Amino acid sequence: MQFLMWLEETGLAVWVRESASLLAYPTILLLHTIGLAIVVGISAGINLRLLGFAPGVPLSPLARLYPYMWTGFWINAVSGGALVVADASRALTNPVFFIKMVLIALAVNNLRLLKPHLLAGAPAGAPRTPNRVRMLAFTSLVLWVAAITAGRLIAYISV
């Protein structure tokens, strides 16, 4: 708890929390929203393709979207870190926050596991995606929705 309170009093934390500038807390929140739109959005598009929608899209080009998703991920890791540090004693003692971290770790792991399948790339119109891959794509969608839900609920639920 002492460590958490120390975190809250670091220069970064104080700036995020107390600066009246639009470039502080509001911009950090904005970046967090844009990052999530990038990661979850592109991931959803890839997952929908793997689940059989838009079958005309070849798989291996989709693998080239990963750098965009990693960019979104790191934007959120950094902006999320700033948000946590500014409110460390509440965020890091809130189970909902840790649930969100686990969900994101699982969702990102799914992305990693899916990439080789994309690179092996069935061309457009090839036979049905294997069930194992479809499960990964489906659970990926569920995990991201759950992560967004947990993220939104952090502000509403404190234990």
Partner 1 sequence: MNLAHVHIILNHVPALGSVVTLGLFIVALARGHEMLKRVSLGLFSFLALLTIPVYVTGKVAQATIVDNPLVSQVLIVPHEDAALQAFMMMMLTGAFAWFGLWQFRRIARFAAWNLGIVLLLGALTVVFMVQAGTMGGAIRHDEIRSGDEVTPAVGLLTAASVGAFVNDSTWIWPAAEVLHFVGLSLLFGVVALINLRMLGAMKEASFAAFHRLLPWGVLGSAVNTVTGMMFFIALPDQYTDNIAFFWKIGLMTLAGLDLLYVTAFDQPWAVGPGVDAPVSEKAIAASAIALWIGVIYFGRMLPFLGFAF
Which residue ranges make up the site for partner 1 (CB under 8 A)? 22, 26, 29-30, 33-34, 36-38, 40-45, 48-49, 53-58, 60-62, 64-65, 68, 124, 144-145, 148-149, 152-153, 156
CB of 3 to partner 1, least distance (A): 30
The CA-atom distances, in angstroms, between 140 and each of 42, 51, 83, 103 are 12, 11, 25, 10
CA-CA distance, 95 to 78, in Å (whole number)? 20
Q: Which is nearer to partner 1, 8 or 49 (CB)?
A: 49
Cβ closer to partner 1: 1 or 20?
Answer: 20
Q: How far is the CB of 21 from partner 1 (least distance, A)?
A: 10
Residue 35 or 136: the one with the smaller Cβ distance to partner 1 is 35
Q: How far is the CB of 2 from partner 1 (least distance, A)?
A: 32
Q: What is the dihedral of CA 96, 43, 108, 155, to 10 degrees?
A: -20
Taking the complex as a whole, the smallest distance from the CB of residue 88 to partner 1 amounts, in Å, to 22
Nearer to partner 1, 8 or 72 (CB): 72
